[in-house]
Structure 1
Amino acid sequence: MLSKEFFLVGKNIILAAGSLILALSCFFPSIAYCREVAAISPENNIRILPFKHVINIGNALDAPKDIFWGVELKDEYFATIKKAGFDGVRLPVRFSDYVVDGKLDENFMKKIDKHIEAGLNQGLYIILDFHHFNEIMDKPVENRHLLLQIWQQLSVRYSKYSDKLVFEILNEPQKNLTADLWNEYLAGAVKTIRQNNPKRYIIIGAGSYNNIADLKKLILPKTDNLIVTFHYYEPPEFTFQDNPYLGYEQYKNIKWQSSFSERLKIARDFLQVKQWAIDNKVPVFLGEFGVNKNVPENMRVLWTECVRKEAEQDDFSWGYWEFGSAFGIYDLNKNEWDKALLQALLAKEKNS
């Protein structure tokens, strides 16, 4: 007859084996298993947006007035983007450079009209993003009225446009535009927009450059069809490295190799956003993420694919930064996509 001690030893071996299996299942690629352990259950999903795969056309309409930043926006690009498999374009625009006596320049606005209509005619969602309003970041109190003036004009101008036109109130609040001020200003902007666009999607983000950590400070206006955005370039020493414009020229040869710890960092960051979105009952748009061209191609692909997959796992729509400039995936001279990066973004989509 087997002894009591034998059974105790056997039980301990089984428990130890179970713990080992649990540990291994969390170490080997199963971030998905760790996600379940993190207590976000499958039924607690956030609302899915009608647009999912967006690309930013940066360094074009967001350049300072009369200064060329390397990208001339051509209406034919919208057909190229649609054919590749994207369903939306984010258009960053520096509206504040085109205001005279409180009025938006009509010639400039006709140009914007044409671009928006070209995108909508392709069946794309168009996110009209107020970008690089540097004055309000430095002197928020003095420029609050201008923010509201601009959105009043835009909301009237585009009130009859397709609901596939989406408004983004302000890119990356920062500096002197504190969380308290930003909460006050964005509420005023939403109220202004809703006077003429009662159902249009509106995107807002937290302060500190649409940072995840500042979501807890964001006060959501009480309105339907509100979307919260965040931007993700972690770690910036990798994504921005060797780029003097961004102030990261001192960082060189920084690697990102899709290790478990690197992927887990992204998963944890995104789960933090998802839990916040569940608690606040809002959908999420990852409005910017990308790696600049000074980084080796293989690592750009690894990081981009990982971020994209994590966003989709958490039901976030996403917008890659950007189309054809320093972070771009389209060669404006050769008129061709970077196939590897396009595949990293649209693995399940039609690439051409």
Structure 2
Amino acid sequence: MAQSPAAPQITPALPVGTCINLGNTLEPEQEGSWGGAPVAAEDFARIKAAGFETVRIPVRWHNKTTNKAPWPVDKAWMDRVQTVVDQALAADLNVILNSHHFDPIHDQPLAVAEWHGAVWKQIAERFRGYPEKTLWFELENEPHKNFNHTNLLETLTPALEAVRATHPTRAVIIGGENWSGIDSLATLPLPDDANIHPTFHYYDPFLYTHQGASWTAPDVPPVGRKFPTEEDREKLKQDVAKIQAYIARTGKTPFMGEVGAYDKHIPTADRATYHRMLREAFAPTGIGMCNWAYANTFPFWDREAGRWLPGMLAAVGLPEQD
């Protein structure tokens, strides 16, 4: 009699819950240079008071180091990142500390792997002793271009080994190729490590969420796309099924590390509809969702008006605030 395949070992889901990205803050070339503003402790207090459980903090590292061994990170920058993490933790938020826009790794992944690993060694040492239940490391945002599943594990091995030397059981997050789109999960290779957690990003349909976004040039999606069409509804059902299948196959529950729609050409009410539909659709899977972003480009918080944009908190399942 043929034996049935062994059931996958179940890995408890990372308790991301309702999450927001600190977008366009520490991942530009300089803090806040993409039209944002430096983050302060009151921002995290506001995020917590709104009901968010987790904040994802994208950080650009490669331009804050030398490009030659031993690749020291600028001390002032490391101090600043630590201050921001400390402020978020003090607000009783979970923190995902993410390496974002480590640009050379996408062009020459294996050639840059040692440099990337050396940076993570310094990050790991700086955050030695921090609580494991509330601070998690994401090794690299949205692998793309030459950084793909054929070299993903080999490229990330120096970083993972550097982290594990001082954080043997801390949660480490890995996303897949092609900008970590949902379809990357189907072939995402992961290390044999019980504390590795998969992630994916969701900006579908891209022609809707990124309409008129200049940074997508030369193929900028035209303005005017509406959501949802019947095709969008069917695609959303299919994508939910992909997550359910992934969990059943691997025993791991991924989380949605980024999701959002561009505010310049999409009215706030329509953006709220998009977030609500996605939240309700994916709710049965039990995944956490990190919305993009707090206060700049795809914002939830309106800095000028000093308020949460109408309907956006309710869309992600939180109480509306005056």
The TM-score normalised by the length of structure 2 is 0.90
Aligned to 2:25: 60
1:1-80 superposed matches below 5 A: 47-65=12-30, 68-72=33-37, 73-80=39-46
How many correspondences in the alignment?
307
Q: CA deviation at 1:252?
A: 1.1
Q: Hey, what does 2:189 align to over in structure 1?
A: 219
Partner of 1:33: none
Equivalent residue number for residue 115 of structure 2: 146
Contact 2:25 2:32 in 1 (8 A): no
Aligned counterpart, 1:237 = 207
1:276 deviates by 1.4
Question: Hey, what's the Cα distance between the residues in 2 that align with 1:267 and 1:112?
Answer: 39
**What is the identity, as a one-letter code, of the residue corresponding to 1:207?**
E
Q: CA deviation at 1:199?
A: 1.5
Alignment of 1:104-183 (within 5 A): 104-163=73-132, 164-183=134-153
Cα distance change, pair 239–45 in 1 and its aligned pair in 2 (3 A)? farther
**Which one has a bigger Cα radius of gyration?**
1
Look up the equivalent residue of 1:61 and give its one-letter code: L
**How many Å apart are 1:316 and its aligned residue?**
0.5
Partner of 1:30: none
- Which position in structure 1 is the counterpart of 2:227? 256
For 1:51 and 1:250, the matched residues in 2 are separated by 31
Q: What CA distance in whole angstroms lies between the structure 2 residues aligned with 1:67 and 1:49? A: 29
SS in 2 for 1:108: helix
CA RMSD of aligned residues (A): 2.0
Name the % identity.
28
Greater percentage in helix: 1
Q: Deviations over 1:287-323 (max 9, x none)?
A: 0000111112232111111112223221111100111
Q: What does the per-residue CA deviation read over 1:51-81, in whole Å, with 9 as the maximum and x for residues that have no partner?
A: 3011001111000137711112222100000
Stretches of structure 1 that go unaligned for 5 or more consecutive residues are: 1-43
- Within 2, Cα distance between the matches of 1:190 and 1:302? 38
CA distance in 2, matches of 1:67, 1:161: 26
What is aligned with 2:174?
A: 204
CA-CA distance at 1:183 after TM superposition: 2.1
CA contact (8 A) 1:46 1:315 kept: no
Cα distance, 1:351 vs. partner? 4.3
1-structure distance, mates of 2:277, 2:31: 38
Q: Distance in 1 between matches of 2:320 and 2:91?
A: 16
- The amino acid that maps onto 1:255 is K
TM-score, normalisation: structure 1: 0.82
